[in-house]
Each structure stands twice: as C-alpha cells, then as structure tokens.
Chains A and B, each alone.
Chain A
Amino acid sequence: MELKLENIHKSFGIGENRTEVLKGISCTIESGSICVLLGPSGSGKSTLLNIIGGIETADEGNIYIGEEKLGNMREKSLSQYRRKHLGYVFQAYNLVPDLTVKENIEVGAYLSDDPMKLDEMLNMLGLWEHRDKMPNQLSGGQQQRTSIGRAIIKRPEILLCDEPTGALDYKTSKDILKLIEEVNRTCGNTVIMVTHNDALKSMADRVIKLRDGSIRSNKTNEARTPVEELDW
C-alpha cells in the first residue's frame, strides 16, 4: 500500500514555548518497500511515524494511505485503520506481562480476520521453544521478536518500527533487523523504520533524512544491502 505525505506540519507547546517539530514534510513511500527515517534526536522522525500511525494528528497537511485520506478519519475510524492496516513495533517491547510469548502474539492475531498461522510464526521468529515463557523470562531480543510477531501476525500492510533495536546489543539488533527484512520479503508489507543509526540506511529501499523538522534528503537505494552485510 503506497503512502503519500503532503506538507505535514506539527508543533508542540503554546506561545513562546511553541516549537515546530515538522515543517512541511512531503514524500511518497512505495508499497512493499523498506523506508528508513534517519535523523538525530529531536529531528521529528518519531513524531512523523506517529502521525503516519494515526496516534498523533498533524496540524496541517494530508496523508494518503492508498486512496484513503487519513486526516478525514475520526477516532473510531482511526482505530479501525490501525487495526486493519498497521503493525507497530516500539523500542520498549510493551508485552503484556501476564501472557506467554504465544499468547502475546495471539493478541495481534485477534485483531485480524485472517491472521498468519501462529505455529509458523513462532518458528519463523525462532521463538518456538520459548512459546510458553512469560516476558520476564526472555532476553531483550526475544522480547522484541515477540513484539514483532505480535505486529505482523495480523498481516499489516504497513509495519511501523520506532527504534526497534534501540535497546539491544549489536548481535541481537542485527537478528531483529534480519527478521524485519525477512518479514518484508515474505509478507510484502511496507516497512517504515525510525532509527538514528546511520548504518541502517543501506538496508532500505528509501532513506529519508530529517533534521529540525524538515527533510534534508530523500533518496532511493538502487539495491538494498542485506542486513547480514551491515556493520556499525
């Protein structure tokens, strides 16, 4: 599903404390691609991701998801939009503490009429043998895998990842990125990933660099570098 952003503005605060976080962002993200939003802290990348995810509203501008205009949606429709089209992965894994790995993934499956097969998903995530463990019995990487499983099991057309490796070590980060890459390849969903790690730009089809709320560059990679070959 193609995503089109038109002149997105967003400010926080009032009066003298008003800060413009996004200053007219416009871009198009192609269906089935991996898009990396790069930028230093405070550049507005997470805010942009949240606006795309419908959990924050833009002060100005339009977002089109396929043919649908996001700005026209009310809270109920937004909730339905997220339920149907989006998968979310955060830096903090936010797993339900009293549910096992398998059940946490089921939390995502519940939202879909046609979810992916749970056992296959557990195998793909490498969590089969951990499926009955509680989140507090897992490592950070395993928790993030679970959270990715929860996001993708409902076959979202867009997978939004906010610093998914921000809390992980190098090796685990790589494993998670490989997983995201594999999900994109096998499921064909559009992946939009926020990161401040410049090295990740190579794994993307499109790299948008933000600084001070504006797009500094918007480039496409002719050929993505497999995550396996990335180093930082």
Chain B
Amino acid sequence: MKNPLYKRIPREFRRNLGKNIALFLFLTLTIGFCSGYFIATGSLSYRLSQNYEKAVTEDGHFTFDKKIDSELTKTVEKNNAKVYELFYKDKTLENGNVMRLYKLRDKVDLVEMYSGQEPAKENEISVDRLYARNNDISIGDKINIDGRDFKVTGFSTAPDYTSLYKNNTDFMFDALTFCVGFMTDEGFDSLDDTGIKYNYAWVYNDRGLDEDTKHDKAEKLMNALSDRSQEITEAIRQAYLSAMLSGNLKSFDLDISEEDMPPTLTDFIPSDSNSAINMATEDVGGDKIIVMWLLYITIAVIALATAITTKSTVEQEAGVIGTLRASGYRRGELIGHYMIIPVFMTLVAALLGNVLGYTFMNDVCASMYYGSYSFPAYVPQINAEALLLTTFVPAAIVLLIEVIMLVRLISLPPLQFLRRELKKNKSSGSLPLKAGGFTLRFRTRIILRNYQAYIVLFVGILFANLLLMFSLIWTPLLSNFKDVILDNMIAENQYILKAQAKTKDSSAEKFALYSLTNENGEDISIYGISNGSKYVSGLDLSDGKIAFSSAYSEKYNIHPGDTVTFSERFSSQKYELKVGEIYDYPPSLCVFMSLDNFRTTFDEDDDYFTGYFSDKKLDDIDKNYIAAVIGRNDLTNSADQLENSVGFVKLFAIFAIAVYILMIYILSKMITERNSRSISVLKILGYKSNEISGLYNFSTGAVVLISMAVSIPLLGLLMKYLYFAVMQNYNGWVSFFIAPEIYPEMAAIGCLCFLAAYLLEMRRIRRIAMNEAIKDIE
C-alpha cells in the first residue's frame, strides 16, 4: 500500500501555492542560468581546445625588427619546431582605431569565418566579429585604410586573437578600438609597409607535448634565438673592431648598411604567456568556481529558509506526529514525508533548469562571453558535469539541510510531540522583559520566539547585499577610475619615439621609458624623468632615489624602504630597486627615477631618451619618428573595455533583489502562519489588521533594518578584500572605490524589497479569520 501521507503532498503544495511557485521559479531560473553557464562554458572550452588541432594554434610567436634569415629559421627547426611568417601591419583608421592586418593563413592560426565569406579580392577584408559589433560594422560596409576602401566580406575569428590584446602587456584587451583584419596576399602587399611587424609563429613538431615541456622548450628556443642574434651582432662587432684596428674603418662603414644589420629579437611570447590566446580560455573556465559557489550558497540560503518553514510545520503538527509515531510510524517515514516537497521541488526545478540551460540559457550565458571575446561559433555539448553540479548537488544540499534539521527534531520521543514540548531550551521565550512599552515588548518577544528564522533572514540579507554591492560598485568604480586617470595624467600627450627626434616646442619635456618584469611576471613601466620636471612634480629623485606609483604600492603592498626585484623579459639581467617614496599616481603600475639614474641603470648614453611629455600637440616631429602618442582616450580605453566586459554583473542586482524579497517573504509568511491563532485572538480583542501587522511585520522590519545596518558596512570592508583577491590576477591595477551613494542605494533597495513583502503579509494578516482562534488545535 502506498503511504497515504503522500496524498497530502499536492494539497500541501497547493496550500502554499504562491510561495512554492515563487520558489520554484526562482530555483528553476537560477539553476537554469547556472546550467546554461556550465553548458556554454563547457561547450566553449571544448570548442577552444579543439582549436589547437583544428585551427593549428601556434605554440608561440616571436618578432624581429626585420625579416629573419635562414640561419635563424634553422635555429627554430633545430628546436623541433616549424616556423611560419605571420607578418602584420598596424594601420590607424580614420576614427583613430587601430586595425591589425594579416594575410589569410593556411598553415597556422587558421582563421574561421563566423559569418560571411573570406576576402577573395584585393580590395576585400574580413574583420573581427566583436570589433564589428562594437563599431556597428556590417557585411558589405567599406573600411578606409591608407586612403583606400576595403569591402567587408565577413566576420572572422582567429585562435591567436580570441581576446583582442593589442600588446600582450596591456592591462585589458580592447575590442572597442583595436581590431584584427584579414586580407588576400595581394591586398596585404598593396598596403605600404608602415607599421609592419616581422612576426613569426612556431609550432612544435610534436603537438602532444604537455604544458611543462612546451614551457621548457620555449625557454630554450628564446635563448637560442637571442644567442643566435647576439652571435651575429658579435660577429659584426668583431669585424668592425678588426676594421678599426686595421685602419679600414671607412671601408667597413661603407659595407654595412641598415639592411645588413642583424635582426634583433623584439618580442617573444610562448602561447602559454599569450593573453590574446589564453585570457579567454582562462576566463571561460575561471568563473566556473564563482558561479558554482554562487549557486550553492543561493541554494543553501533558500534551503535554510525552507528548513525553518518545515520546522515550523512540524511544530504546528506536533500532535499529529506524536500520534503517528505512537501508532508505529517510523522516524524515517516522517522525515521523508516532511522533506519531500522541498527536495522534490528542487529536483524538478533543477531538471527543468537543465532543460532551460540546454535550450535557452546557454545562449544567454555564451553571449556574455561573445560580448567580450572573439570566439568561433559553438555547438552546445551534452555536459554530464553540468547535470551533476546543477541537479544532484542542489538537491543534495536541500536534502542534507532538511535531513539535519528533521533528524534532530523528529528524533524526539513521541511523547514530547504529544505534549508539544519540542524545544529543549524554553528560556528564550520567557526572558523577563521589563523595559519599554507593551508594543516594544511584544515585538521583542516575536523576535526572540522566531530567532532562528531571523538568523536565516540575516544570512539571506547578507548574501543578497553581497550580490547587490558587487553589481552596483562597478559602474562608479570604473567611472571614478577614468576620472582618476584623467586627473592624474602626467601630460596630455606622451610621445613615444622610434628614434630620437627634436622639437622646439617649449612644453615638451624629455623622458625615457623602459619595461621590466616584476617577480609576478607583470610588465612594469620604468620612467626616467628630467630633473625639475613640470609633469612629474613633487618627487625627490636625487641621489638615485626611486619612487613607485601608488597603484603599485596598493597592488603589491610595498612601502618606502622595501626592495623590489625586476628582470628583463628576454634575459637573465636583474635589477633591485629600492622604494624611496610612493608617488600618488593611481592610473598605472610604474616606477619613476631621474633620467640620469635611468641612463646609468640601463647603461644608456648620456643623451638617451625615448619620448616627450607635452600638454600640447608636437607638430614639428616627423610622423615616421613617432611610435605612439598616448593621449586621454588611450588611457581610458582599458576602463571602457572593462566596463563593457563587466556589464553582465548588473544582472546580479536583479538576482539579489529576488533573493531579498524571497527571503523576507518566505520567513515572514512562516512567522504569520505560526502566529495565526494569536493574530486571530488579537482580532477578537479588537485589534485592527494594520495594528497587528504593525506588531508582527514591524519585528521583521526591525530585523531587516538591523541586518542591513550590520551587513552593508561589513560588506563594504569585505568587498575591498574580495576585490583585491579578484584583481590580483589581472595585469595592471584599478583603484578600489566604493561610491558613497551605493550605501543609501542598497538600503533603499532593501527597504523597497521589505515593503513588497510587507504588503503581501498585510494581505495575509487581513485574511486570518477570527474563528481561527476557536478551532480545535491540531
């Protein structure tokens, strides 16, 4: 015979239909989102891992300042790798954006068309899908490059640019102003060579190497390339010396031309260090843990709330349970009975959520990544792990919390149920309350009697506020960062020169710039500043003193007196720099020293410099001498891109509000139901519904307010640590900032959520009939 108690389950479900539907929808959508996320990321990761074979993703690339000769090619081949030319030209477009142009590839880093066709004619081009989206470019549009129009035939993705990093050392990728485009060989050759980079990709003969072996081999290859380059340089130097010693220097001078100078290695990036390849892959996998914990904490908070509700039901049905136990019903049968609704509901919501995940949510989640990265199209893959993580684990969490609570409660002897003595410690309800008027004492008693529910409410509000704060801080934080960048600009323009060039503009001030790597592998700009600088002022850089930017100090927690070790990226040369002072410069991680000190440290000539600071445009410098001009937009680009990438975090606010309302609603409903008899008595005594609501809901309101008052400032502190932990993994630094208006904003959202739940409870209290009090207690 089927247990007849099961028959009450659908009725019990219907009795709390509103609550159950709200919970069910919330669980389904939450699990659906998480399932969609796992499916999307799993499928994307699978797709990206396939890229290595299918798209022949490079094992790394290196750049020389000119074409390499056959000797250098052989050097690569001796290291069991093949080398391919991947030359590119960076062209500045009419709107100031930079387009990096490649020839279509057929051996390595194969391009995939997301939509449209590959370019087939000299005047055709395919552009990166994401850049096209961000800049409203459609297939068929024309892009002007070097004064010529190129027709966009399609949108492409390349495995070496899944995230659009212009330089590997950039703080953020930039899909707003930087683009990768592909052309036919003729089209590429037809453009002038300004901005050409002699870039080479290598691929190991053995494609099955593990990451450690690849890393070791890359190191050997880099040493071999740089040694070979140095050998050639040394040979020329020796020839030069011989010529000088033999008095034939003049003739030697004639022999050696710019073209004959050996190629110099300017860049070397193994694929495991290439942000343009790895950033997206790491990000796709990287958020999994956060989403998983977000789901589990949400489920646990909801499970706690439902467990408290179940406990209340058990308390109300103590007599029934006592009778059933006395009649021979086993503990397990009753535990199973009381937990079946929450567990079954979670399981069904999880299964439905998974269906949503496969059919709809995976696209929603994938679009968050497609909004930041240049991925090829993907096909959702069946994901057993997603099923386990989003179906069985949530159901297990709910089951565990319910079982723990019910085992403790239902283990009590039947007699205690019959006597309704379910509380081991009854003192909390009978605390002597002498202070305050009747209403205060009444409300205090409600809080004391329902303290477990209110503790869960506090936990729920803490969690909801954490999500809320996380979703609200980004916009003002990035906006503030942009202001900080602009307020702290060293100069309106930083001219980086390819070769020393002179200017007569009085606003120009020489500086030198070099890049070193710190112990965390992060590239740090080292500035040499002219004495008495008007752009970097207030610093004492005399006697070899060195200043670190406040951003560096904040990120790495360094202080005056500390010593920081830096190294050259492509050599073993190390530099130990002592922190003299911290310069208030939040925009970037950099080090300042005097120009003289810079020249000595890096063994440069006495007149060495690499650029100018200037608040004005320097029109008298030939464009050919200028490598880059860093202006306002360049400095705020990373913040813009970051703002674009974290846009989806705003969704957290909706989720947080849902958690907020659900928690207040479920727990205040439980409290009202538990006290329905007392409420009925109060009505008989002549209390009005709003007075009763004032008594019961005020207590909940007070707990909500206290929870907000405690959790919001607490989270303000906690958020700083969370933020530091998250941002440590990124290159560069964005100063932490919580806009003061966020606090009242969060409080207002909390109050509105409470108000919504309050109105629902008000309705429930109105519905409690006076005859409730005179019914037999069951």
**Bound complex: CA A90 to CA B327 (Å):** 11
The contact of A82 among B5, B8, B327, B418, by CB within 8 Å, is B327
A103 to chain B, nearest CB (A): 5
Pair B327/A55 contact, Cβ less than 8 Å:
no
| Cross-chain contact A111 with B776 (CB below 8 angstroms) | no
Q: Does B423 contact A (CB under 8 A)?
A: no
**A56 at interface by CB-CB < 8 Å:** yes
Distance in angstroms from A98 CB to nearest chain B CB is: 4
- Are A87 and B327 in contact (CB-based, < 8 A)? yes
Contact of A108 among B325, B327, B776, B778 (CB under 8 A): B327
Is the C-beta of B408 less than 8 angstroms from some C-beta in chain A? no
A55 touches B413 (CB 8 A): yes
A53's partner among B15, B320, B326 (CB-CB below 8 A) is B326
Q: Interface readout for A134-166 with B: 1 if CB under 8 Å, 0 if not?
A: 011000100100010011000000000000000
In the complex, which residue of chain B has the Cβ closest to the Cβ of A56? B415
Chain B's closest residue to A84 (CB) is: B328
Give the chain A neighbours of B4 by CB distance below 8 A. 99, 103-104, 106-107, 109-110
> With A and B bound together, what is the CA distance between A103 and B3 in angstroms?
10
Q: Establish whether residues A97 and B317, one from each chain, have CB atoms under 8 Å apart when the complex forms.
A: yes
Residue B330 lies at the interface, judged by CB distance under 8 Å to chain A: yes
Q: Which of B731-778 contact A (CB under 8 A)?
A: 775-778
Expressed in whole angstroms, the Cα–Cα distance for A94 and B317 within the complex equals: 8
B566 to chain A, nearest CB (A): 71
- Closest CB in chain A relative to B52 CB, distance in Å: 59
Judge if A86 is at the interface, Cβ distance under 8 Å.
yes
A41 on the B face (CB < 8 A):
no
Complex Cα distance, B193 from A8, in Å, reads: 108
- B17 nearest CB across to chain A (Å): 13
User: Which of A76, A79, A109 contacts B1 (CB under 8 A)?
Assistant: A109
Complex Cα gap A90–B331 (Å): 20
A83 near B319 with CB under 8 A, answer no
The answer to whether A135 touches B328 (Cβ under 8 A) is: no
Bound state CA distance, A99 and B2, in angstroms? 14
| Known contacts A98-B8, A107-B5: A86-B328 contact under CB 8 Å | yes
Is B327's CB under 8 angstroms from A83's CB? yes
Let me know if A107 and B776 touch, CB within 8 A.
no
Interface status of B329 (Cβ within 8 A of chain A): yes
Contact of B15 among A98, A103, A107, A150 (CB under 8 A): A98
Size band of the A side of the interface?
A: 35 or more
**Choice from B322, B413, B778 contacting A95 with Cβ under 8 Å:** B778
User: Which residues from chain B contact A94 at a C-beta distance below 8 Å?
Assistant: 319-320, 322-323, 418, 778
A69 to B323, alpha carbons, bound, how many Å? 23
Question: B234 within 8 Å of A by Cβ?
Answer: no
Decide if A88 touches B327 in the complex (CB within 8 Å).
yes
Q: How far is the CB of B10 from chain A (nearest CB, A)?
A: 9
Task: Assign chain B's interface to a size class.
Answer: 20 to 34
Q: Does A92 contact B (CB under 8 A)?
A: yes
B414 lies within 8 A of chain A by Cβ: yes
Interface residue B11 (Cβ < 8 Å from any Cβ of A) = yes
Minimum CB–CB distance for A193 against chain B, Å: 15
Asked if A80 is an interface residue, CB under 8 A from chain B, the answer is yes
The smallest C-beta distance from A161 to any residue of chain B, in angstroms, reads 12
Distance in angstroms between the alpha carbons of A79 and B413 in the assembled complex: 11
Known: A79-B330, A109-B1. A55 touches B7 (CB 8 A): no
Shortest distance between the CB of B315 and any CB in chain A (Å): 14
A 187-226 contacts with B by CB, 8 A: none
Contact present for A143 and B776 (CB under 8 Å): yes
> Which residue on B lies nearest to A139, using beta carbons?
B776
For A81, what are the chain B residues with a Cβ–Cβ distance below 8 Å? Answer: 328
- Name A98's closest neighbour in chain B (CB-CB): B8
- Chain B residues whose CB sits within 8 angstroms of the CB of A88 once the complex forms: 323, 326-327
Q: Are B8 and A135 in contact (CB under 8 A)?
A: no
Which of B1, B326, B330, B415 has most A Cβ within 10 Å? B326
> Interface digits, B1-29 against A, CB 8 Å rule (1 contact, 0 not)?
11111011001100100000000000000
Asked if A167 lies at the interface with its beta carbon under 8 angstroms from chain B, I say: yes
Question: Would B775 and A136 count as touching, CB distance under 8 A?
Answer: yes
Whether a CB of chain B sits under 8 angstroms from the CB of A50 is: yes
Question: In the complex the two chains form, is A96's CB within 8 Å of B329's CB?
Answer: no
Alpha-carbon distance A86/B317, docked complex (angstroms): 21
> Closest chain A residue to B9 by CB distance?
A98
Whether the Cβ atoms of B317 and A99 lie closer than 8 Å is: no
Contact mask A59-83 → B, CB, 8 Å, 1/0? Answer: 0000000000000000010011111
- Give the CA-CA distance A87 to B328 in the complex, in Å: 9
Q: Is A93 an interface residue (CB 8 A)?
A: yes
CA distance A104 to B778 in the complex (A): 13
Q: How far is the CA of A45 from the CA of B616 in the complex (A)?
A: 103
Q: Are A55 and B415 in contact (CB under 8 A)?
A: yes
Q: In this complex, what residue of A is CB-closest to B413?
A: A55
B93 interface residue, CB < 8 Å from A?
A: no
B1: which A residues are within 8 A, CB to CB?
106, 109-110
Determine which of B330, B415, B776 lies in contact with A50 in the assembled complex, contact meaning CB atoms within 8 Å: B415
Q: Which of B3, B15, B323, B775 contacts A90 (CB 8 A)?
A: B323
B317 to A, closest residue via Cβ: A97
Residues of B within 8 A of A92 (CB): 319, 776-778
Chain A residues near B15 (CB-CB < 8 A): 98
**How far apart are the CA atoms of A50 and B330 in the complex, in Å?**
17
Q: How far is the CA of A110 from the CA of B6 in the complex (A)?
A: 11
Q: Once the chains bind, are B325 and A55 in contact (CB under 8 Å)?
A: yes
Closest B-chain residue to A95, C-beta based? B778
Q: Which of B7, B326, B414, B777 touches A99 (beta carbons < 8 Å)?
A: B7
Q: Does B626 contact A (CB under 8 A)?
A: no
Which of B3, B414, B777 has most A Cβ within 10 Å?
B414
**B412-452 interface code vs A (CB 8 A; 1 in, 0 out):** 01110010000000000000000000000000000000000
A-B contact pairs, 16 of them (CB 8 A): A55-B413, A82-B328, A83-B327, A84-B328, A88-B326, A94-B320, A94-B778, A95-B320, A96-B5, A96-B8, A97-B320, A103-B7, A108-B327, A109-B1, A109-B4, A136-B775
The 9 closest A-B pairs by CB, nearest first: A83-B328, A98-B8, A106-B4, A94-B323, A82-B328, A94-B319, A55-B414, A98-B11, A88-B326
14 further A-B contacts with Cβ under 8 Å, apart from A55-B325, A55-B414, A79-B328, are A56-B413, A56-B415, A79-B330, A87-B327, A90-B323, A92-B319, A92-B777, A93-B776, A93-B778, A99-B5, A103-B8, A110-B1, A136-B775, A136-B778
